[in-house]
């Protein structure tokens, strides 16, 4: 736990993101925000609300529905001295810009033999849980984490919502920031002087010794709840928030495993070929003999996210399913 030095303010994940945007815009004239409905509309999730009035149309730039072009334009602007923050409304629509992200943003540095770099941040909402069905509910964090040349961050706390953006902007390479849409209303305390945070390390959000629960993004609150319920049964779970999915901080994960020897990975991506699968594979490679039991994964079911609430809830990780997996493991 952080020791809070400055007085704390009560705020939300959404407001913390807005503070980070405001700070970045104030701090560096090269920073600008662009995306669909970031300005007049006030941001689809109201993250950028009020920024147009504060910074004007040049720097809070509404774009037409042209994901490929405006993401590509962000890459071009980054290539030429700016520090763009591109907002793609949800990761589902980022598929229209995937070509630009993968074939340009992720490769230009390498293809040019290191002559160019792309200091770009792409923000996108992700995740299910709002009955938006199969074209608005998917989690592509793991997909993007497959790509060398980009960094993937998943703020899941107010501190990270407040602090990851600036660090990501200062990174000379493209960073994709996933904001789970269910976190926007997350409320809590934040140090009044909270600022940039490191984006290189995973963090232990709850210390424990009986088993390790590894997660990120929207599954963090559920995992912490499951850990609380385990504690009521005298089972002490350690909860790791990966924070950055690429590059992965395996040291923190393996340190925990060396203590607990048991691991459940919670990942809202589809199970097959998931980020959870990657972590499992690395544990096999690097710490096989630390394991006292096979690793379990709580992931999304192999189905496009359905509309009906009971089916959607059954398709994604839940406190109950995390709890069940953890109990199976310690039994």
Partner 1 sequence: MTPDPELARKLLHEMVRIRRFEEKSAELYSAGKIRGFLHLYIGEEAVATGVMQALQPEDAVFATYREHGHALARGLSAGAIMAEMYGKVEGCSRGRGGSMHLFDAAAKFYGGNAIVGGGLPLTVGYALAQKMQQRIGLAACFFGEGAIAEGEFHESMNLASLWNVPALFLCENNLYAMGTALERSEADTNLVEKAASYRIAGKSVDGMDVLAVLEAAQQAAQFVRAGNGPYFLEFRTYRFRAHSMFDPELYRSKAEVERWKQRCPIAGFSARAISEEWLTPETITAIEAEVAREIAQAVEFAEAGTWEPVEMLTRNVYTARVQPE
Ligand X SMILES: Cc1ncc(C[n+]2csc(CCOP(=O)(O)OP(=O)(O)O)c2C)c(N)n1
Part of the chain binding partner 1 (CB under 8 A), chosen from 117-125, 129-137, 175-183, 255-263: 129-137
Distance CA 2, CA 205 (A): 10
For residue 99, give Cα distances in angstroms to 66, 72, 115, 136, 262.
Answer: 13, 9, 21, 19, 39
- The option from partner 1, ligand X, none interacting with 236 (CB < 5 to 8 A, set by class) reads none
Q: State the virtual CA torsion across 127, 128, 131, 132 in degrees, nearest 10.
A: 40
187 is catalytic: no
302 binds, options ligand X, partner 1, none, Cβ within 5 to 8 A by partner type: partner 1
**Residue 178: left if φ>0, alpha if ψ -120 to 50, beta else—which one?**
beta
Provide the minimum distance between the beta carbon of 50 and partner 1 in the complex, in angstroms, as a whole number.
10
Near ligand X in 57-76, by CB under 6 A: 65, 67
**Residue 201 a catalytic site member:** no
In whole angstroms, what is the distance from residue 34 CA to residue 61 CA? 5
Q: Which of 23, 59, 76, 93 forms a contact with ligand X (CB under 6 A)? A: 93
* Residue 41 touching partner 1 (CB under 8 A): yes
- CB nearer to ligand X: give 45 or 270: 45
- Distance between CA atoms of 9 and 187, rounded to whole angstroms? 10
Site string for partner 1, 283-312 (x = CB under 8 A): ------------------xxxx-xxxxxx-
Residue 287 tokens, joined: 């710490």
Instruction: Tell me, by CB under 6 A, how many residues bind ligand X.
Output: 6
Stretch of 88-96, 119-127, 215-223, 289-297 lying at the interface with ligand X (CB under 6 A): 88-96
Using CB under 8 A as the binding rule, whether residue 102 contacts partner 1 is answered as no
Decide: 74 and 122 in contact? Cβ < 8 Å: yes
Q: Select which of 15, 36, 67, 87 is catalytic.
A: 67
Can residue 320 be called a binding residue for partner 1 (CB under 8 A)? Answer: no
Contact assessment for residue 82 and residue 29, using Cβ atoms and an 8 Å cutoff: no
How deeply is 193 buried, as exposed, middle or buried, from its count of CB atoms within 10 A (0-12, 13-18, 19+)? exposed
Q: Of the residues 15, 36, 87, 136, which is catalytic? A: 136
Q: 128: closest CA among 14, 267, 17?
A: 267
**Beta strand 121-126 with 296-300: parallel, antiparallel or unpaired?**
unpaired
Q: Please select the residue that binds ligand X; options are 9, 96, 287, 324, rule is CB under 6 A.
A: 96
Catalytic residue numbers?
67, 136
Please give the residue ranges that form the binding site for partner 1 (CB under 8 A). Answer: 36-37, 40-42, 44, 62-69, 92-93, 96, 130-136, 301-304, 306-311, 314-315
Please give the residue ranges that form the binding site for ligand X (CB under 6 A). Answer: 36, 65, 67, 89, 93, 96
């Amino acid at each position: 736990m952080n020791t809070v030095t400055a007085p704390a303010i009560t705020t939300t994940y959404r407001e913390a993101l807005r503070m980070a945007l405001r700070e970045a815009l104030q701090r560096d004239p090269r920073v600008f925000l662009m995306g669909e409905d970031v300005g007049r509309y006030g941001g689809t999730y109201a993250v950028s609300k009020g920024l147009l009035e504060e910074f004007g149309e040049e720097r809070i730039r509404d774009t037409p529905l042209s994901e490929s072009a405006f993401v590509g334009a962000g890459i071009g602007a980054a290539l030429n001295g700016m520090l763009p923050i591109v907002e793609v409304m949800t990761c589902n629509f980022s598929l229209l810009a995937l070509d630009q992200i993968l074939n340009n943003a992720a490769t230009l540095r390498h293809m040019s033999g290191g002559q160019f770099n792309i200091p770009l941040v792409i923000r996108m909402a992700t995740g299910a849980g709002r009955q938006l069905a199969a074209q608005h509910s998917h989690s592509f964090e793991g997909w993007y984490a497959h790509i060398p040349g980009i960094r993937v961050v998943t703020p899941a706390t107010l501190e990270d919502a407040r602090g990851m953006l600036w660090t990501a902007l200062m990174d000379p390479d493209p960073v994709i920031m996933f904001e789970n849409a269910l976190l926007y209303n997350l409320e809590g305390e934040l140090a009044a002087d909270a600022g940039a945070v490191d984006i290189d390390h995973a963090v232990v959000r709850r210390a424990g010794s009986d088993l390790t629960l590894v997660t990120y993004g929207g599954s963090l609150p559920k995992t912490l709840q499951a850990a609380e319920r385990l504690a009521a049964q005298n089972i002490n779970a350690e909860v790791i928030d990966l924070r950055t999915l690429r590059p992965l901080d395996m040291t923190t994960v393996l340190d925990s495993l060396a203590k607990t020897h048991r691991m459940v990975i919670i990942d809202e991506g589809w199970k097959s070929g998931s980020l959870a699968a990657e972590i499992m594979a690395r544990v096999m490679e690097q710490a096989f003999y630390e394991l006292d039991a096979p690793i379990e994964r709580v992931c999304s079911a192999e189905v496009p996210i359905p509309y009906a609430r009971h089916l959607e809830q059954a398709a994604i990780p839940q406190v109950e399913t995390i709890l069940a997996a953890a109990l199976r493991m310690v039994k």
